[in-house]
């Protein structure tokens, strides 16, 4: 199973690897799933299915050898519930391989947005804002996995550097990470100011060589322990 499969690029690769097996991609976005299904049909991949499903609603029972997710589960704040349903979905001796970015204060989206909030004195709008991303503390995440029936847990925090040729390209990337969510608590006129100030900050960070963002990703590998967890 591929959680948050998007347009299914990686799901299709997995179907190619396990050609005697079957792959299920789930995503909460109907448009992503439509594209993924279209792609699978156009290249005649048969051992795959794509389902519109919120990761919070996963309800499989000892069905999968492997649960995979790339760059998606940081959107799911109820991490314990998610890991429980992943564990229940795994066959005995099943595996997980999960990767997601850490949207902590060193992530460029968070650090630049924080600077903009400070320079425009917008702090009050964010007092009761529910931060949209799941950002685990490593030891707690390890303990959670262990308590929920995983063993051989290997969590690696790996630094990534992305290079952009222009501030506009960097803005596109940060839009895809969720910049728009920072606009939600603001009234309309402040939304415009926020975006202008954000772009100004990006331009200030840009040299003739473009700009670079460094951020951390978590890679989480583990195996289901012998406990028969399921429905």
Ligand X SMILES: C[S@@+](CC[C@H](N)C(=O)[O-])C[C@H]1O[C@@H](n2cnc3c(N)ncnc32)[C@H](O)[C@@H]1O
Count other C-beta atoms under 10 Å from residue 83's C-beta.
Answer: 24
Helix (H) or strand (E) holding 32: helix 30-42
Residue 229 CB, nearest approach to ligand X (Å): 21
Residue 49 CB, nearest approach to ligand X (Å): 15
Whole-angstrom distance, CA of residue 109 vs CA of residue 203: 14
* 85 binds ligand X per the rule CB under 6 A: no
Question: Is 107 within 8 Å of 101 (Cβ atoms)?
Answer: yes
Among 41, 54, 78, 196, binds ligand X (CB under 6 A): 54
Please name which of 22, 28, 31 lies closest in space to residue 4, comparing C-alpha atoms.
28
Residue 26 CB, nearest approach to ligand X (Å): 6
Among 22, 28, 62, 183, binds ligand X (CB under 6 A): 28
Among 9, 63, 92, 201, binds ligand X (CB under 6 A): 9
Question: Is 125 within 8 Å of 190 (Cβ atoms)?
Answer: yes
Among 1, 23, 32, 96, binds ligand X (CB under 6 A): 32
Whole-angstrom distance, CA of residue 165 vs CA of residue 211: 7
Whole-angstrom distance, CA of residue 194 vs CA of residue 192: 5
- Assigned token pair, 30: 């109907």
* 51 binds ligand X per the rule CB under 6 A: no
* 27 binds ligand X per the rule CB under 6 A: yes
Nearer to ligand X, 32 or 88 (CB): 32
* 70 binds ligand X per the rule CB under 6 A: yes
Please name which of 45, 51, 39 lies closest in space to residue 7, comparing C-alpha atoms.
39
Nearer to ligand X, 79 or 114 (CB): 79
Stretch that binds ligand X, among 5-13, 15-23, 125-133, 203-211 (CB under 6 A): 5-13
Q: Which residue has the tokens 């299914």?
A: 8
**Applying CB under 6 A, what is the total number of residues that bind ligand X?**
17
Residue 223 CB, nearest approach to ligand X (Å): 22
Per the document, the length of the chain is 231
**Footprint on this chain of ligand X (rule: CB under 6 A):** 4-6, 9-10, 27-29, 32, 54-56, 70-72, 75-76
């Amino acid at each position: 199973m591929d959680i948050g499969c998007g347009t299914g690029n990686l799901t299709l690769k997995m179907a190619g690897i396990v050609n005697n097996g079957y792959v299920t991609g789930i995503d909460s976005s109907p448009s992503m799933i439509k594209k993924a299904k279209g792609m699978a049909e156009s290249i005649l991949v048969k051992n795959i299915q794509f389902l519109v499903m919120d990761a919070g609603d996963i309800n499989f029972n000892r069905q999968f050898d492997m649960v995979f997710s790339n760059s998606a589960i940081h959107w799911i704040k109820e991490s314990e519930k998610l890991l429980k349903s992943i564990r229940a979905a795994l066959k005995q001796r099943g595996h997980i391989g999960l990767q997601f970015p850490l949207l902590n204060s060193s992530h460029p989206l968070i650090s630049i947005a924080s600077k903009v909030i400070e320079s425009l004195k917008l702090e009050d709008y964010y007092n009761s804002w529910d931060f949209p991303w799941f950002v685990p503390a490593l030891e707690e995440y390890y303990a959670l996995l262990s308590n929920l029936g995983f063993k051989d847990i290997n969590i690696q925090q790996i630094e990534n550097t992305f290079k952009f040729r222009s501030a506009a390209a960097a803005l596109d990337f940060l839009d895809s990470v969720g910049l728009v969510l920072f606009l939600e608590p603001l009234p309309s006129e402040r939304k415009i100011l926020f975006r202008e100030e954000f772009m100004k900050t990006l331009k200030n960070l840009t040299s003739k060589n473009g700009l670079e963002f460094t951020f951390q990703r978590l890679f989480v590998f583990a195996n289901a322990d012998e406990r028969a967890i399921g429905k």
